[in-house]
Structure 1
Amino acid sequence: MIDPRIADSFARQSMMASLRAELQAAMQGRCVIHAPILAEFGQQHGAAHAAVAFALGDSAAGYAALSSMSDGQEVMTAEMKINLLSPAIGDRLEATGEVIRAGRRLIVVRAEVVAVAGEARKVVAVLQGTMIGV
């Protein structure tokens, strides 16, 4: 299920388009984004660059936050921390963002980024941060 407001916002993100990312789910407090691991966004060891995991995780967490906000509001990242756990090697990355706590002004979020290779799945990054309504 995808909230049309989030689908519209996602369609305007040139960064996600560059990564060929697709919005898979966006509902109350949760968002899932997939993207293929592309050679043009690789690092010197053959894995996806950490910036790809960060971009996907940040967007998934941001859209999870947006899904918990009133119509007419937008969201931006105030701060975000990433822990890189393993090289991002596989066919695609899957980022799942969720709201930890939605306050009146700030929303605390987290995201998990998984590398998918065939049927195998491996967590490659976890993010935690704060979103703010604008």
Structure 2
Amino acid sequence: MEEQAYQQEASPEVRKRITESFERQGLMRHLGARLAHIAPGRVHIVLAGRPEVTQQHGYIHAGATSAIADNAGGYAALTLFPADADVLTVEYKINLLAPAVGDHIEAVGTVLKSGRTLTVCRLEVYGVQGGKRTLVATGQQTLICLS
């Protein structure tokens, strides 16, 4: 998909479907994650850096980083699925490139290939400190469309 397509917002119907699904996720609520951007084939999720989501060295925990990356990709895929469909992750791999530090982290899920049954997404997570973004994790994910 072209970068220009990611600048647009998803339709109100898609935004509502994504938001309602996201709000049903206990883990995202527990972590304090929030949807920051919903576009066709692209979703951003933000997680504030606070003591409750850190590990023993003060970095944002890899589990929290991975969870919001997984969700960003899943919801990016869902933006392109039929209105009556749902999504489940089949597999994902994430590489942790640097300690996740900052005011917050931002996961970006981007659809690489949307298929009738399987969809593949790129996952990126950035540490954001004072407006400066640093890539802290990258990965790839395969999802299944449930109708």
Residue of structure 2 in register with 1:118 after alignment: 130
Q: Which amino acid aligns with 1:29?
A: G
Q: Deviations over 1:49-108 (max 9, x none)?
A: 101110011000000000010011100000000000000011101011110001111000
Q: Single out whichever of 55-64 and 40-49 deviates more from structure 2.
A: 40-49
> Cα offset for 1:120?
1.8
Residue of structure 2 in register with 1:31 after alignment: 43
What is the percent sequence identity of the aligned residues? 44
Residue of structure 1 in register with 2:101 after alignment: 89
Residue of structure 2 in register with 1:17 after alignment: 29
Residue of structure 2 in register with 1:133 after alignment: 145
> Cα offset for 1:28?
1.0
Q: TM-score, normalised by structure 1?
A: 0.96
5+ residue gaps in structure 1? none
Q: CA RMSD in A?
A: 1.0
1:111 partner SS: strand
1:49 aligns with 2:52: no
> Moved runs in structure 1, 4+ residues, more than 3 A?
none
